[in-house]
Structure formats: structure tokens, C-alpha cells
Structure 1
Amino acid sequence: MYALVDAVSFYASCEKVFDPSIRNRPVVVLTNNDGCICAVCPIGRRLGIPKFKPYFQIKHFLAKHHVVVRSSNYELYADLSDKMMNVIGRFCDNQYVYSIDESFLQFKNYNQIINDWHKYGHEIRRAVWQETRLPVGVGFGSTPTLAKAANHAAKKLPGYNGVAVVDDVTSRKDILSKMAVTDVWGIGSRLGKRLNVLGINSAWDLANQSPKTMRSQFSVMVERTVNELNGMVCLNWDEVKQAKKEIFSTRSFGQRINEEHQLKAALVSHGAIVGRKLRQQHSRVKRLVISAASSPHDDNYYHKSIIYEFLVATDNTLSIANAISAVFDCVYAGGVNFYRCGVGAIELENTQFQQGDLFSLNEDDPELMRCYDGINNRYGNDTLQLAAQGKIDKWHMRREFLSPSFTSKWRDIPKISC
């Protein structure tokens, strides 16, 4: 048996944890630079607030309905995610954290221990709520895809109250027949439209297709999805979430910048993010893309992108920063009001199978990077950073509605009056 435990409107729910005054109010969270709505709590959804709507287009509606608006507080979300995953992990010895708000559990030989999966699911929900004040949905199924479908039912279909179990033909048909094919894990809207043309509108319709036919008309992944919907396990943890083939860190600025040291600090900061992500998935980069641009809506639009190739692939933040410095003069142009910039790793190698170079010296220092990551993991990102990243706020994200850093700054620790 598999389970998927998924937080309800995770970002919005996190904002309510340390602020009880807004727990019964509609809350929305905005994307980078307060651009669009990326999370809406259930109370807000009942008002018809759409996700991905530009904030400036809907801010008067939000004010009229007294909606609480928050900027994305990624540090808070990461800390609460870690706490939530630790609680969930106590309920099974085989846990796979799929994303910041989703965790798979695989129960092997648990049938003699657990005789009521519904009850066990409610125990998970209760523990997470008591220890984190985060609401979650729990879905059980005999495959990862069925667990994902059950989680969809637990959170979005009436009558399930946060827990759904697919453990027989009746429960499988009941849930899949009420679920649009576009909601099936791995299908999505583009593929769903092609399936709709063939009369495949629900998840149950897809489950009743011939796997071989789906493979010939679409892909092996659709074939696997059909098999998984019928209780045949085809996915393992490595296939559930594969390592990224490219890693990018890009962002528009809080306000336009035109000074050389500001753009360089921003690019080095993006390079540090790329380096951290490379080490997290045990990859190294052979080719690096460094880019900067003005807004396409400005006069005399400017865009420049340079590729830097390392002699030996690296995951060292210092090496990445040196590469950015080496090509910076080719990217920067005086008199340009830069709107965004970014760094991307486009040719990756696994650290276990790295191809060396007989005539080059690899100056990477894995111990230094482990120490660097260890300090930042313990005390928060950018606790330790490169001097070249600077401390310039002008190019950082605009976060006008940012909530306090309750879990990472001493001055923001909640005060309790007894």
C-alpha cells in the first residue's frame, strides 16, 4: 500500500500557523515580486479568487472582501515543510519527500499492523495538525498513481473528509469516475485534450483503455499510467522524481538596476542557488549560461546570453562565481536598465560518473562545500555567502506584504502573553 500526504493550500496555510487572527479569513499568497496569486486558501476559493491572476488586476476585489494578502515567505515555508515531513515520516519507515508539500509513504508488510487505513489516515492528519497546525489530505492506494488519485478525492471530492482509500474495485471506480482525466498524475491539460478527442474524459475512462494501445498512440508513460490505475505498480521512487537535466535560477528585479556591481551581485547570487541545487541532486555542471536583459516593453530592448564551458564539470559555488566574473563584461552594458538576469546549468553530469581531464587541475573542494551547505542548512540560506553576492536590496525581490520570519529570525519569534 502507498500513501500520499499533501498539504491543503500549503503556502496560504503556512501564513496562518503563527497568526491565529487570520485563520478564519481568506488568505492569498503572491509570486515573486508580488506579481500573481500563487496560493489561495479554501475560504478564498469560495469567493471565486483564481490562481495565477495578476495581483494588480484583482487587488480592488481583494480589498473589498477583506482578503489577507501575503508575499511569498520561502524561508518560513521551508521550515514548516521540514517539520511537517518529520511528523509524517514517523508513520512509515519508507518515506519519499516528493515536493515541499507532498510526501509519499510505502507500506511493506504493514497489513498485520494496520487493519483500518481510514483510521490510520486520520491519525496522520491529526498528528500533523497538532504539531504544525497545517491541514493535510491523505490518500491510500495500491500504486503511487492510485494514492495520488485518492489524495485528490480526499481534498476535493465531497464526503471523504480529508482521507480516501482505494483498496478494491468499488472504491477505485467511485473515485476515478468522478475525476477528470486531466487531474490524473502525469496527464495534464495538453495530453488531456488529446484524450478528450478520443472520448476519454474521466480517470475511469483512461483506466479502461488498452495499455498497449495507449503506448502506440501516446507514450510508454501513458501506458504505465493506465497500468497503475489498474493496480499494477510501474513506478519506483527514482522514476517518480528524476534528477533535473537542467537547473536555472532566474528572476526579475524588484526595481530596475543599471550599475555594474549590482548586476554582478545578482548574477553571483543566482550562481550560488544553482550550485546548491546541483549538490542537492548530486550533479555537476559542464556548461553554464549567464544572461541579463532589459524589459521587452522598454525602448532599445537589450538581451545578452553567454555560455561558459568548464574544463572539468563542477558543483563548487566558488568555481561558478569565478565563471560568472570571467564573462561578466560580455554581459553587462552601460546605460541599460536591467529588468532580469539569470544563471543556468545546461550540461549536467552525475557526480558518480564524472569524466575527468588528464591535463587540468580540479580545484573543487568538496569538504568546503559540505561545510558551506551545512551552515546554511542549519541557520538558513545565505547565512554564509560569497562576498561578491553583496548586501544590496535594490535588486532583490519586491515583497511588500511579507510576513515575519517566525522561525529564522530572533526578532520575529512570536510573543505569547500569559
Structure 2
Amino acid sequence: MYALVDCNSFYANCEKLFRPDLKDKPVVVLSNNDGCVVARSSEAKLLGIKMGVPYFQVKDFCAEHKVTVFSSNYTLYADMSQRVMSTIETLCPTVEVYSIDEAFLYLADYPLAMQDLNVYGAKLKTIIECHVGIPVSIGIGSTKTMAKLANFAAKKYPATKGVCVLESLRWIRRLMQITEVGELWGVGRRYKARLNHLGIYTVYQLAICEPAKIRQHFGVVLERTCLELNGQSCLEIEEAALKKQIISSRSFSRRVTCPDELSEAICSHVAKAASKLRRQQSVCHYLSLFAMNSSFSQAQPYTAISGQYCFISLTADTRVMIAAARQVLASIYKAEVHYAKAGVMLLGLCQHHEVQLDLFAESDEERQTAAHSDSKGMHRSAQKTAAIISVMDELNKKFGQNNQQQAAVFIASEGIKERQNWQMSRAMLSPCYTTDITQLPKTH
């Protein structure tokens, strides 16, 4: 049996957790640069506010109905997610963190849970909400897909009280018959349209299809879904996989026309990407950067620039990568373009211990130095380089980095954040309650 723990309206409830005055009040969270609605509390959903709608279209509506609006506070959400997942891991030995607000549990490894799944599900929900304060829905089924379906029922039907266990064949069949196929995990709008064209409108109609027929029309992915609906597990619990590529990009709060400002933005993204690279003990072979103006601009045609740098020796050294990025940017920069977005991508990633030895190193000692890395996962060509990057990482880890301030130690090419008026606009940003002691609420 599998369980799926899903945090309800995660971003919105993270904001409400530290604002008791917002209990039972509508709340929405906006995307980067306060562009679109990306999260809604249950009260906001009842008001009819749609997911993904541009904020300017509902701004007056939100003011009229006293909807509290927040900019995205990624630091807060990431920390609250870590707390939820840590709590779950104390209650089940086998956990797969599926997303920032979802986790799969494999209950066969936990005999105590298998004794009474309903009791275990209720206990799991109570403990998470008590320890962390984030409401969750829990679905339990014989496969991952069935657990997803059960979780859908736990959210949709109040009678479940947030916990749905699909054990009874009678209830499984009934739920499948009243659930549209488009609500199924992995069935998007295109698949739904194609399934409807074949006369498949409900989950039950898909479940009774011949898997070979589904594979013929849709491929192996939907065939596995069909098999899982019939209790045949095709998707096992997965360990956290290392990223094959790392991307850091953001839209600007205003159009950028100055080459120095664009360079600062690119360098900032390189630093963020390099930090993520070291955290997974990896090095990279290629660095790709890009920038473009808005595709909706009427003042000038759409223009995009991009370039790539290949490192002779794989690296995770922020200084080396920033130098490479600046070199590439200088060669591809186009003047008089009103840039709306920029970013970098790291490619050709591998673990530091997988790096091939340097054939042209002068000695065995140098080859070993070039091939191995320190505990931060950074490919080093010298002990001095390793020490510098290690100290930078330790200082930034110790003193933290929240939404309002720059890293404690950074490369000068990144510029000083307080002086950068092109940074992402977040006018309604909430405090970092859990990661910055200076932003804790105060009482008098």
C-alpha cells in the first residue's frame, strides 16, 4: 500500500500560519514580479478566483472582497516544506518527496500502519498539522496512482475528513465511476480530449480498458496508469535523483538596457546555480546563458541572445563560472534591446568522483588534485581554490540568505542587491518568519 500526503493550498496556508488574523479569510499568492495568481486559499477559491489569472485583472475584485494578497516567499515555503517532510520521515521509514508539498509513503515497510490504515492516516494527518501547522490531505491505495486518486477524494469530499483509504472494491469502483478521467494523475488536457474522443470519460472507463489498446494509442506511460488502476504497481518509490541540469532565471521588474546591469543579473544567476551544483556534490562541463526581451512587446521585435561555454576541466567554482559567463555575454550582447528576462543553465553534470583524470597534469599529485573534490563537492585544481569556495559556502550557510538581503559573501560582479532596481518585484512580500530571527513577530 502507498500513501500520498499532500499539503492543502500550501503557499497560501504557509502565509496564513503566521497570521492568525487571516483565519477563515481569503488569501492569494502571486507569481514572480507579482504577475499572476499561483496559489489560493479555500476561501479564495470559493470566491471564484482562478488559478493563473493575471493579478491586474482581479486586483479590484480582491480589494472589494478583502482578499489578502502576498508576493511569493520562496524562502518561507521551502523551510516549511522541509519541516513537513521531516515530520513525515519520523512516521514512516520509506518516503519519496515528490514535490515541495507532496510525498509518497510506502506502507508495506511499516507493519504498524498496515494494521489499520484509517487509524494510521488520521494519526499522520493529526501529527503533521499539530507539529507544523499546515493542513494536509492523505490518500491511501494499492499503487501510487490509486493513492493519488484517494487523495483527490480526500480533498473533494468533506465526509472523508481529509483521509481516504481505498481498500473496498465497491468504494473503489464507485469513486472511479464518478471521477472524470481528466482528474487522474498524468492525464492532461490533451490526453483527456483524446480519451473523450475514444468514449472514455471516467476513470472507471479507463480502468476497464485493455492496457495493450491504451499503449497503442497513448504509449507506455498511460498504459502504466491503466495497470495501476487495476492494482498492478508499476511506479515504485524513488530515491531523490540528482539533477541532470540546473537552471537559474528570473524576469526583471523593469526592462534592462544597460550592459552592466544585464551582466550583474547573469552573474547573480551563475552564483545561485553554482551553489546548487555544489550542494549535490557535482561539477559541470557546460555553462549556457540567455536573455531576451518580451515576446509581447510592441515597441521592438522579439530578440533573444544565447551562448555557451565549455570548461576544459569540469568545475563548480563560482569565480571560474562567472568569468566564463562574462566572456560569453560580451560576445553575444546586443545593444538597444529592452531585456525582460535572463538566466543561466548548467549542463553536462556529473559527480565529482566521476571526473576523468587530467592527462596533462605534471604529476600524479596534480592529477589527483584535479580529479578529487572537497566535502562541498567542488572540483578543485588546487587546495587554495577549494578552501576559498568552502569558506564562502560555510559563511553563507551559517549566516543565511533570505528574501531581503544578499548572501553574506558574494562575488563583486554580482553587484549589490540593494542598488539593483531591476530585481524581481515583490511588493507584498511577507517576513521570513522561520529563517531570520530579526523578522520574528513582536508583541508589546
**TM-score under structure 2 length normalisation:** 0.86
Structure 2 CA distance, aligned partners of 1:394 and 1:165? 51
Structure 1 CA distance, aligned partners of 2:10 and 2:91? 20
Report the 3-state secondary structure (helix = DSSP H, G, I; strand = E; otherwise coil) of the residue aligned with 1:108.
Answer: helix
Q: Which residue is 1:36 aligned to?
A: 36
Compare 180-189 and 27-36 and name the one that shifted more: 180-189
Q: Deviations over 1:214-243 (max 9, x none)?
A: 1222111111111111111111233x9765
The change in CA–CA distance for 1:48 and 1:284 in structure 2 (over 3 A counts) is same
Answer yes or no: is 1:397 the counterpart of 2:417.
Answer: no
Structure 1 CA distance, aligned partners of 2:97 and 2:393? 19
Structure 1 CA distance, aligned partners of 2:322 and 2:41? 39
Q: Deviations over 1:81-111 (max 9, x none)?
A: 1111111211101111111111111112534
One-letter code aligned to 1:306: G
Report the 3-state secondary structure (helix = DSSP H, G, I; strand = E; otherwise coil) of the residue aligned with 1:177.
Answer: helix
Structure 2 CA distance, aligned partners of 1:165 and 1:378? 43
The change in CA–CA distance for 1:113 and 1:46 in structure 2 (over 3 A counts) is closer
Instruction: Describe how 1:352-363 pairs up with structure 2 within 5 A.
Output: 353-354=354-355, 358-359=359-360, 362=370
Q: Which residue is 1:102 aligned to?
A: 102
Report the 3-state secondary structure (helix = DSSP H, G, I; strand = E; otherwise coil) of the residue aligned with 1:340.
Answer: strand
Instruction: Describe how 1:68-79 pairs up with structure 2 within 5 A.
Output: 68-79=68-79
Give, in angstroms, the shift of residue 341 of structure 1: 0.7
Structure 2 CA distance, aligned partners of 1:133 and 1:36? 26
Give, in angstroms, the shift of residue 196 of structure 1: 1.3
Q: Which residue is 2:290 aligned to?
A: 291
Q: Which residue is 1:407 aligned to?
A: 434
Give, in angstroms, the shift of residue 21 of structure 1: 0.6
Structure 2 CA distance, aligned partners of 1:154 and 1:61? 30
Give, in angstroms, the shift of residue 169 of structure 1: 1.6
Instruction: Describe how 1:154-173 pairs up with structure 2 within 5 A.
Output: 154-173=154-173
One-letter code aligned to 2:304: H
Whether the aligned pair in 2 keeps the contact of 1:250 and 1:270 (CA below 8 Å) is: yes
Q: Deviations over 1:254-285 (max 9, x none)?
A: 12223333211211221233334445556543
Q: Deviations over 1:170-198 (max 9, x none)?
A: 23223222322222222222222111111
Compare 353-362 and 196-205 and name the one that shifted more: 353-362
Q: Which residue is 1:319 aligned to?
A: 320
Compare 369-378 and 295-304 and name the one that shifted more: 369-378
Q: Deviations over 1:140-164 (max 9, x none)?
A: 1111111111111111234212000
Whether the aligned pair in 2 keeps the contact of 1:8 and 1:136 (CA below 8 Å) is: yes
Whether the aligned pair in 2 keeps the contact of 1:4 and 1:102 (CA below 8 Å) is: yes
Whether the aligned pair in 1 keeps the contact of 2:93 and 2:110 (CA below 8 Å) is: no
Whether the aligned pair in 2 keeps the contact of 1:306 and 1:327 (CA below 8 Å) is: yes
Unaligned runs of 5+ in 1: none
Structure 2 CA distance, aligned partners of 1:378 and 1:236? 37
Structure 1 CA distance, aligned partners of 2:267 and 2:371? 19
Give, in angstroms, the shift of residue 374 of structure 1: 5.7
Give, in angstroms, the shift of residue 25 of structure 1: 0.7
Task: State the percentage of identical aligned residues.
Answer: 38
Q: Which residue is 2:382 aligned to?
A: none
Answer yes or no: is 1:309 the counterpart of 2:310.
Answer: yes
Whether the aligned pair in 2 keeps the contact of 1:95 and 1:103 (CA below 8 Å) is: yes
The change in CA–CA distance for 1:177 and 1:142 in structure 2 (over 3 A counts) is same
Report the 3-state secondary structure (helix = DSSP H, G, I; strand = E; otherwise coil) of the residue aligned with 1:51.
Answer: coil
Q: Which residue is 1:272 aligned to?
A: 271
Give, in angstroms, the shift of residue 40 of structure 1: 0.6
Whether the aligned pair in 2 keeps the contact of 1:37 and 1:54 (CA below 8 Å) is: yes
Give, in angstroms, the shift of residue 364 of structure 1: 8.1
Structure 1 CA distance, aligned partners of 2:397 and 2:196? 45
Compare 50-59 and 357-366 and name the one that shifted more: 357-366
Structure 1 CA distance, aligned partners of 2:81 and 2:150? 22
Structure 1 CA distance, aligned partners of 2:352 and 2:426? 36
Structure 1 CA distance, aligned partners of 2:326 and 2:154? 51
Structure 1 CA distance, aligned partners of 2:279 and 2:354? 16
Instruction: Describe how 1:95-244 pairs up with structure 2 within 5 A.
Output: 95-111=95-111, 114-238=114-238
Whether the aligned pair in 2 keeps the contact of 1:3 and 1:140 (CA below 8 Å) is: yes
Report the 3-state secondary structure (helix = DSSP H, G, I; strand = E; otherwise coil) of the residue aligned with 1:237.
Answer: coil
**TM-score under structure 1 length normalisation:** 0.91
Whether the aligned pair in 1 keeps the contact of 2:353 and 2:373 (CA below 8 Å) is: no
* Larger Rg belongs to: 2
Structure 1 CA distance, aligned partners of 2:373 and 2:237? 30
Structure 1 CA distance, aligned partners of 2:217 and 2:51? 33
Q: Which residue is 1:250 aligned to?
A: 249
Answer yes or no: is 1:388 the counterpart of 2:413.
Answer: yes
Q: Which residue is 2:8 aligned to?
A: 8
The change in CA–CA distance for 1:324 and 1:103 in structure 2 (over 3 A counts) is same
Compare 194-203 and 30-39 and name the one that shifted more: 194-203
Whether the aligned pair in 2 keeps the contact of 1:311 and 1:357 (CA below 8 Å) is: no
Structure 2 CA distance, aligned partners of 1:109 and 1:128? 20
One-letter code aligned to 2:429: L
Indicate the RMSD between aligned Cα atoms, in angstroms.
2.5
Report the 3-state secondary structure (helix = DSSP H, G, I; strand = E; otherwise coil) of the residue aligned with 1:309.
Answer: strand
Whether the aligned pair in 2 keeps the contact of 1:125 and 1:137 (CA below 8 Å) is: yes
Structure 2 CA distance, aligned partners of 1:229 and 1:378? 47
Structure 2 CA distance, aligned partners of 1:384 and 1:283? 21
Give the aligned length.
Answer: 416
Report the 3-state secondary structure (helix = DSSP H, G, I; strand = E; otherwise coil) of the residue aligned with 2:442.
Answer: coil
Compare 395-404 and 246-255 and name the one that shifted more: 246-255
Give, in angstroms, the shift of residue 338 of structure 1: 2.2
Q: Deviations over 1:123-145 (max 9, x none)?
A: 11111111221110011111111
